[in-house]
């Protein structure tokens, strides 16, 4: 077959497109998607491609997944997370996934709903009428509190500060291009990262030690991990359990907090969408605290979160590394090439979303999700490595958004409009400052 070369994203000699990436990672992938459905990103040192055709993404993530492992930048997160579910491969990954699955099963998540709502109530009780606060910071603490309570049956107290510091250091590490050997350099940023990782490790070791010393074991994810056995009957090694706890804590709260923060900001900018949401909420609940059985009546809240994650996907790019060279659509991809798919770019493609930059939760009301190609909208990825917490996240985000909107009006402060920071996740760079006013 005749082999063609994919179009290239224009770059400079030697540095390739790295400066272009550093100037704006989101625009970088938008530009790539405009050039073609398969584009050579021309980053230095290693071959990198962007795929934006949903069928090609499906090939990599689902049909041909055995020929791919996680991409280099994600694997680099092992310095923080160890070999947990997000970063591991092969048998190790399969065993972790099997061990964690029951804790994140749909039926199980129903039992977490009340704790999700109660935690939001505690947060909102602390709001002073009319004050301006960093709602992104609030949501980070709220979702952290929830994940630690429901999956590990514990409370963090002051330890939540160490986790907050670890997250800030990790996000700073991923703010720019990830060059693995750079971690070894004695820079201030690296020292902060290492100190933050140590702080995070200590918190997680304390969670584990408390459990090991406890007289009885609650029925939660931690117990599942501690009682899991390999096919040969061996328990999961302690380092591995620690990696799984770290992974669930990190992956299980920051993304959901970002999804909620961006959605609140979008609602603040779109009063008509906000008014429709409030009317539906008041109609369905009449001021009553929402619970899991209300979710079928709260479809509009779910559509609002879905639309928020379309425009501001917390996982704004994911990727895979090629294990063995392969060909696709007459193009050849070498071993170790990195293939990226940017949700940010693809979720804004007018071929799939009419008026793509408009915030319109109602576009999801008439079955759009079923009509779209599988990978035109993929905030949670897909295939075997699909987010294990997707139902958890949607349940939590829907209930929390419903509770927050019932009780307060949120208005982004005009002089502090949030700017996206495209790091490991897509977060508001300097927080989300909103004025909070009670609704009644």
Of 43, 248, 426, 434, the one binding ligand HEM (CB under 6 A) is 248
266 and 308 in contact (C-beta within 8 Å)?
A: yes
Task: State the Cα–Cα distance between residues 112 and 315, nearest whole angstrom.
Answer: 24
> CA 188 from chain center: how many Å?
27
Q: How far is the CB of 233 from ligand HEM (least distance, A)?
A: 23
Q: Which of 379, 398, 406, 422 binds ligand HEM (CB under 6 A)?
A: 379
Does 421 bind ligand HEM (CB under 6 A)? Our answer is no
Q: Choose between 52 and 256: whose C-beta lies nearer to ligand HEM.
A: 256
Q: Which is nearer to ligand HEM, 43 or 151 (CB)?
A: 151
Contacts of 260 by beta carbon, 8 Å cutoff, 6+ apart: 139, 143, 305, 308, 397, 400, 401, 404
Q: For residues 228 and 355, what is the distance between their CA atoms, to the nearest angstrom?
A: 48
Beta bridge partners of 340: 50, 319
Q: For the segment 87-146, give every residue that binds ligand HEM (CB under 6 A).
A: 97
- What residue number has its CB nearest to ligand HEM? 389
Point out which span in 131-139, 207-215, 254-262, 271-279 binds ligand HEM (CB under 6 A): 254-262
Does 82 sit near ligand HEM (CB under 6 A)? no
Query: Residues 197-236 vs ligand HEM: string with x where CB under 6 A?
Result: ----------------------------------------
Q: What value, to the nearest 5°, has the Cα angle with vertex 359 and ends 74 and 41?
A: 35
Contacting residues for 433 by C-beta, under 8 A, at least 6 apart: 132, 133, 134, 135, 412, 413, 416, 418
Residue 409's CB: how many other CB atoms inside 10 A?
17
Binding-site size, ligand HEM (CB under 6 A): 24
259 contacts ligand HEM (rule: CB under 6 A): yes
Can you tell me which of 80, 85, 178, 224 binds ligand HEM, judged by CB under 6 A? 85
* DSSP of 281-307: HHHHHTTPPP-GGGGGGGHHHHHHHHH
The answer to the question of residue 388 lying near ligand HEM (CB under 6 A) is yes
Q: Which of 247, 268, 395, 398 binds ligand HEM (CB under 6 A)?
A: 247
In the complex with ligand HEM, the residue whose CB is nearer, 16 or 259, is: 259
Question: By CB under 6 A, is residue 308 in contact with ligand HEM?
Answer: no
- Answer for which of 356, 381, 420, 431 binds ligand HEM (CB under 6 A) is 381
C-beta separation of 192 from 169 below 8 A: yes
Residue 437 and residue 129 in contact, taking contact as beta carbons nearer than 8 Å: yes
- CA atoms of 369 and 245, how far apart (whole Å): 32
Cα separations in angstroms, 117 against 48, 279, 338, 398: 43, 20, 41, 10
Using the rule CB under 6 A, is 342 a contact of ligand HEM?
no
Q: Is residue 251 involved in binding ligand HEM (CB under 6 A)?
A: yes
Instruction: Give contact residues for ligand HEM (rule: CB under 6 A).
Output: 70, 85-86, 97, 147, 247-248, 251-252, 255-256, 259, 314-315, 318, 379-381, 385, 387-389, 392-393
């Amino acid at each position: 077959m005749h082999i063609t070369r994919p179009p290239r994203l224009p770059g400079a000699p030697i540095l390739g497109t790295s400066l272009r990436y550093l100037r704006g990672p989101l625009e970088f992938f938008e530009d790539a998607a405009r050039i073609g459905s398969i584009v050579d990103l021309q980053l230095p040192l290693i071959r990198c491609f962007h795929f934006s055709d949903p069928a090609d993404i499906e090939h990599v993530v689902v049909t041909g997944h055995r020929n791919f492992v996680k991409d280099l930048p994600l694997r680099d997160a092992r310095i923080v997370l160890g070999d947990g579910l997000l970063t591991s491969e092969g048998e190790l990954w399969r065993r972790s996934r099997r061990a964690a699955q029951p804790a994140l099963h749909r039926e199980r998540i129903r039992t977490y709903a009340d704790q999700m709502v109660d935690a939001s109530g505690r947060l909102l009780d602390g709001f002073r009428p009319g004050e301006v606060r960093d709602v992104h910071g609030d949501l980070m603490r709220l979702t952290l509190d929830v994940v630690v309570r429901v999956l590990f049956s514990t409370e963090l107290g002051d330890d939540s500060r160490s986790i907050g510091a670890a997250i800030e250091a990790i996000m700073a590490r991923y703010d720019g291009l990830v060059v693995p050997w750079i971690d070894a350099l004695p820079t201030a940023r690296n020292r902060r990262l290492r100190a933050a990782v140590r702080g995070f490790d200590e918190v997680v070791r304390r969670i584990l030690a408390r459990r090991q010393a406890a007289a009885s074991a609650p029925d939660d994810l931690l117990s599942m991990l501690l009682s899991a056995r390999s096919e040969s009957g061996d328990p999961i090694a302690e380092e591995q359990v620690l990696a799984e706890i770290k992974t669930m804590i990190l992956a299980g709260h920051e993304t959901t907090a970002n999804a909620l923060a961006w959605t609140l900001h979008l609602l603040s900018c779109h009063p008509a969408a906000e008014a429709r949401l409030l009317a539906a909420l008041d109609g369905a609940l009449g001021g009553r605290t929402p619970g899991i059985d209300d979710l079928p009546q709260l479809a509009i809240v779910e559509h609002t979160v879905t639309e928020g994650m379309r425009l501001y996907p917390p996982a704004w790019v994911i990727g895979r590394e090629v294990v063995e060279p392969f060909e696709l659509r007459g193009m050849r991809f070498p071993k170790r090439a990195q293939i990226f798919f940017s949700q940010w770019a693809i979720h804004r493609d007018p071929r799939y979303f009419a008026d793509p930059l408009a915030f319109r939760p109602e576009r999801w009301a008439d079955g759009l999700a079923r009509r779209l190609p599988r990978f035109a909208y993929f905030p949670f990825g897909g295939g075997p490595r699909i987010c294990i917490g997707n139902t958890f996240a949607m349940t939590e985000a829907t209930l929390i958004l419903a509770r927050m909107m019932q009780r307060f009006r949120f208005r982004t402060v005009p002089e502090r409009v949030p700017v996206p920071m495209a790091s490991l996740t897509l977060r508001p760079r300097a927080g989300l400052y909103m004025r909070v006013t009670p609704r009644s």
